[in-house]
Every structure is written in C-alpha cells, then in structure tokens.
Structure 1
Amino acid sequence: GTVLCDECVSTGFFLTRAPLSTSKVTDKDSADPQSPAPGAGLSPSTLGFAVSAQDTFKCPDDYGFYPHSVSCDKYFKCDNGVAELKTCGNGLAFDASDPKYLTENCDYLHNTDCGDRAKLEPPITAPHCPRLYGIFADEAKCDTFWNCWNGEASRYQCSPGLAYDREARVCMWADQVPECKTEEVANGFVCPAAGELSNVGSFSRHAHPEDCRKYYICTEGVARELGCPIGTVFKIGDTDGSGNCEDPEDVPGCEDYYGDLDLKTIRKSELLAGLQSNGQSRNAPAPKSAASKPRPQASPRPAPQQPRPSDDSA
C-alpha cells in the first residue's frame, strides 16, 4: 500500500521550495502505511534519557532545562535545584533556543543549532538508518528517503519526476539533484532534439510508454515526468508534442485503466480534499488493473527514448 501526500510538512520535516510530493511505501521493515509514522504521539522532546552524571553542573534556577557545554545531544534537567544529566535519542539534539530554559525539546540534528556544542554520541545504526532518529536519503535510489524513528525505518518515495535533495531535505526536480544519475532523471526519457518536432516551441508533452496516466514534459530539452489527476489519463494530441489529461473513455486503449474503481467517488473526495490544482494531482498509486496494461501504441512515437529501467523494490 501507499500513503500519498503533496506537502509532508505536518511533521515539520520540510521547507517547501519545490513541488513537494511523496508517497510512503512500506515493506517488512517499514510501518503500516495507514498507521501513524513510527513514534507517532511522541514528540522529540520526550526522547531524553537519564544517564549517570559525571559532570558538575549547578542549576541556575530550581527548575529548567539547560544545554550541556560541549555536547549537543546532552542537557541538564533541574528539579528543585537538583541537576540530572540527560541524553537525547541517537540522532536528536537538545534545542536550547528557549531563552527562559523552560522547554525540554530534543529535535532532529538538522533542525538544531548546536553552535559550539559540537560533540555527539557515537552513531547507533539500523537498516537504512545511520542513526536511530532522522531523515536519510536512500543508499541507491535518488527518489527515495527514509524516516527513522528509534531505528524503525519507513520508506518514502518522491512523486514521478522528483528526487530527494539531501541538503534541502525536500523532493526537487530530479534534474536539479546532483546525486541523481542520468538514467534516473525522468526514467531515462530523452527529449526530442531541437527542431525535430513541427509547430512546437521550447515546451512539449509526450506519453509515457507504459502507464496511461503518466506523461513527460520537455522544457528546453530537459525531461520531467508528471501524472494526470486521478480519474483521467494522458491523451496524445493531434500535433507532435501535445496532449492533455482526459477521461479514460475518450482515450483508445486506456478505457479500463482504472478497472472497477468508482471514479465519481474518487473525484469527489479528491476535490473536497483540495488535491487537484493546475491540472495535476498527488502521486496516487496506479490501480492494480493498470499495472499489467501497457499504453497502446496507436502511432509511432516521435521522441527517441531509452529503455525504461526495471522498478525493483528497495
């Protein structure tokens, strides 16, 4: 199963500077896609653990939470003037931004300004997790990243055409992410050469060779993969490099793309949720009936393209 979202910002993981669209995909070492993410109901602020205190620390006030002088993932909890040294979960750091020192908050390392508190506990690793807590890029696929919570990894995948940017921590256009190999950008689709298509300027659209709902746009020779809103499929236009998203019944060979799904209900719920904008929807999973049905090749494709890589599971 897949959980869909265009702006995964409710968890505070992202600042959206590009079209952000991700799918949560689960496997044996991932959370149930319909259940909360690992650690749901807990905030990083609850993840401080008491340790034996060798440090000498005098509480400035009877009650408060104070940063360690050299360790970013350690802090002191003062209760009735008695100091207790605590350590955040592995991959978290103490947020000392509260000027009154009344907030106990362990946050992700990339969200925390450690300043001169550069020391950290050694990493504790788990599959796909360099530390027990954090958001990490996949080791092999540039469109995939992992949300690790106490060593439990949940896999997320950017929408078609996007890839995970390790620095910005958002899904960006794949051609803008340095880690993406050439064959991973738009699945290796190659835009037509300049002047190859008639009556086409710097922008053109091209059908996906396998999926009725997907298509490619070419802008100044750069290919990007997009998808039609749920309930529609891509229809090749009358002129080269053109096309639009239309009802499946109007696209020969794609009439049964959605199988027995109730499209009226889907469209209504999607509209109510505000998912459709500018003719593009969230990255919803293709129905099972569509997976085994290649797009019909009604006419020769004008744009050259490379073989589509196999979609092996992570």
Structure 2
Amino acid sequence: MKSFACVLVISALCLNAFAQESFKCPDDFGFYPHSRSCDKYWKCDNNAAELKTCGNGLAFDASDPKFLTENCDYIHNVDCGDRAELEPPISTTHCERLYGIFPDEAKCDVFWNCWNGEASRYQCSPGLAYDREARVCMWADQVPECKNEEVAGGFTCPAAGEVSNAGSFSRHAHPDDCRKYYICLEGQAREYGCPIGTVFKIGDADGTGNCEDPEDVPGCEDYYGDLDLKSIRKSELLAGLQSSSASRATSAPKKAPRPAPASRNAPEPSN
C-alpha cells in the first residue's frame, strides 16, 4: 500500500524514502554508508539491512574498503564526500551538538569536549589559543579571532626600537611568577616557562635573560619552598638515561614528529 501511494502522489520525498527502504545488502554482513546522509549507515546482518544513526555530532566513517568496521567519529574527522545531509543539531550548554569539540564563545584559550551532551572544559597552555579550524591550541597571534593580550595576562611587548640590544626577539620577566617569562617576536608576546628547579633571571642588557638556579636570582630564592630540587633533578636525569638506553636498544628507531607548541617549555626561536 505504501509503494502504491508513492506512485500516485509522485512525491520526491516518497520516492527517496522508498529507494532507501529498498537498500539491498551487498553481503551477508557489513556496515555500509547511507547514499545521502553522513551520520546514517546500514547494518547488514544475515543479509537483512537495518538503518542506523550515529550520535548527534558524529558521522559514519566509511573508509574501511571491506565494510566490516562500524565506527562513528567526530564529524570533522570524517570525509563525508557527497553524503552532505546531517541530522538537525541537538545542543546543550557549551555543546553545539551532543558530540564534538567546540570553542568557548567568551575566552579564546578555552574549548569544550562534548560527549553525549556533557561538556568538559579544557584550557590551552599559557600564550596559546584554540584554533577553530585546526582544532588545536596554537600561538595566540596565529589565531585570527583571538586577541593576544587576552592570553598574555595583559603583558604587551615593547614598541619597535625600545629594546636596543634585542635581536630578532627579546625576553621579559613575568610580573608575578619567577618561573615564567615572555618572548616578544615581531611585537607578539609568547609565554614560556623555565625547566623545573630554575627561575627566570633578567639579563644585564634590556630584553635578555636566562633560566638560572633560584639562589642566583634576587627575590626568587624561595620560589620552590621546601621542594627537594636535588631529588627532582636526579629523578629527571635517571629518567633521561633510561630513555636514552631504551632508544639505543631499539633496532629500528622511529622518527619522532615535530612537537606542537602546546607546552610552556616549547623551544625558543634562535637569534
């Protein structure tokens, strides 16, 4: 009766629905993409097809050439191709959809990971901001929608020519934290942190400085309090030696990817 009604009405909607309901399983078992929708797929079991829908904000990953994998992933991780249709968004606080990674509307260094409508808050490391396109934390001056001053704690770099001894960049002490300091590169401030056990010491020339032992930096002698720095350094040294030994024991060492600037101890530029 349903098919007969579709013929009489000659409705595109009915024809499309009929075409989808008549999906035939290519094999007895497998998971196959919907022809138009990216968040729907067909589950075939014993040659019987069942239409399934991924969670709101997820899409069906159809990259398995054997169609044996049932995998719904974040929409931005899936190549939908011509499967452009999606279910309408279901939103909750901080979540545009029930699943996904979304920026904070008020703070550019904050983003939210949403799972079934529950939002978990994440904040980029100091000096970084969340890039909505790349979906990673990047230097704030590289994120168009972010004002660098917002994540630099109000610190602004000296105007061009004010620091006479600076090369391509200059270093500046953090006003409140002995371990932190800023690097100014082309007028943009980026926050760094000294290795544990050290603090930033302002250099003799403007715009210079290095990480030194706290006892050598006036005003920062008690930065680490009662922390046993010698034990910490010994542990780090032993961990480094063990890591080095493990690397030498590996017959075919793998190349490590270049680390993203998501750490407060990111490598500095060189003059």
TM-score range, shorter chain: 0.7 to 0.9
Provide the residue aligned with 2:74 in structure 1.
108
Are the aligned partners of 2:170 and 2:185 in contact in 1 as well (CA < 8 Å)? yes
Provide the residue aligned with 1:251 in structure 2.
217
Query: 1:202 corresponds to which letter in structure 2?
Result: S
Looking at structure 2, the residues matched to 249 and 152 of structure 1 have their Cα atoms a distance apart, in angstroms, of: 47
Provide the residue aligned with 2:187 in structure 1.
221
What SS class does the counterpart of residue 99 from structure 1 fall into?
coil
Q: Which has the higher contact order (CA 8 A, sep 6+)?
A: 1
Are the aligned partners of 2:128 and 2:262 in contact in 1 as well (CA < 8 Å)? no
Looking at structure 2, the residues matched to 171 and 233 of structure 1 have their Cα atoms a distance apart, in angstroms, of: 25
Q: How far apart are residue 283 of structure 1 and its match?
A: 4.3
Are the aligned partners of 2:32 and 2:62 in contact in 1 as well (CA < 8 Å)? yes
Query: 1:105 corresponds to which letter in structure 2?
Result: N
Residue 23 (structure 2) pairs with residue 60 (structure 1):
no
Given the alignment, which residue of 53, 61, 64 partners 1:87?
Answer: 53
Looking at structure 1, the residues matched to 198 and 74 of structure 2 have their Cα atoms a distance apart, in angstroms, of: 40
Spell out the pairing of 1:9-48 with structure 2 (5 A cutoff). none
Spell out the pairing of 1:259-270 with structure 2 (5 A cutoff). 259-268=225-234, 270=236
- CA deviation digits over 1:230-251, x for unaligned, max 9? 2221111111111011122221
Q: How far apart are residue 268 of structure 1 and its match?
A: 4.8
Q: How far apart are residue 156 of structure 1 and its match?
A: 1.4
Residue 161 (structure 2) pairs with residue 195 (structure 1):
yes
- CA deviation digits over 1:90-141, x for unaligned, max 9? 1110011111111111111001011111111121222211111111111111
Gap change, CA 1:55 and 1:265, over 3 Å in 2? farther
Are the aligned partners of 2:148 and 2:188 in contact in 1 as well (CA < 8 Å)? no
Spell out the pairing of 1:1-314 with structure 2 (5 A cutoff). 55-268=21-234, 270=236, 272=239, 282-283=263-264
Looking at structure 2, the residues matched to 141 and 167 of structure 1 have their Cα atoms a distance apart, in angstroms, of: 16
Q: How far apart are residue 172 of structure 1 and its match?
A: 1.0
TM-score normalised by the chain length of structure 2: 0.77
What SS class does the counterpart of residue 147 from structure 1 fall into?
strand
Query: 2:84 corresponds to which letter in structure 1?
Result: A
Query: 1:165 corresponds to which letter in structure 2?
Result: D
- CA deviation digits over 1:259-312, x for unaligned, max 9? 2333344445556378xx99x99449xxxxxxxxxxxxxxxxxxxxxxxxxxxx
Looking at structure 1, the residues matched to 84 and 201 of structure 2 have their Cα atoms a distance apart, in angstroms, of: 55
Looking at structure 2, the residues matched to 281 and 133 of structure 1 have their Cα atoms a distance apart, in angstroms, of: 24
Unaligned 5+ runs, structure 2: 1-19, 244-257, 266-271
Looking at structure 2, the residues matched to 127 and 106 of structure 1 have their Cα atoms a distance apart, in angstroms, of: 23
What SS class does the counterpart of residue 187 from structure 1 fall into?
coil
Query: 1:200 corresponds to which letter in structure 2?
Result: A
Provide the identity percentage. Answer: 83
Higher helix share: 2
- CA deviation digits over 1:26-56, x for unaligned, max 9? xxxxxxxxxxxxxxxxxxxxxxxxxxxx833
Query: 1:217 corresponds to which letter in structure 2?
Result: I
Unaligned 5+ runs, structure 1: 1-53, 285-314
Are the aligned partners of 2:31 and 2:42 in contact in 1 as well (CA < 8 Å)? yes
Looking at structure 2, the residues matched to 259 and 281 of structure 1 have their Cα atoms a distance apart, in angstroms, of: 27
Query: 2:89 corresponds to which letter in structure 1?
Result: P
The structure that has the greater radius of gyration is 2
Are the aligned partners of 1:74 and 1:87 in contact in 2 as well (CA < 8 Å)? yes
Q: How far apart are residue 187 of structure 1 and its match?
A: 2.7
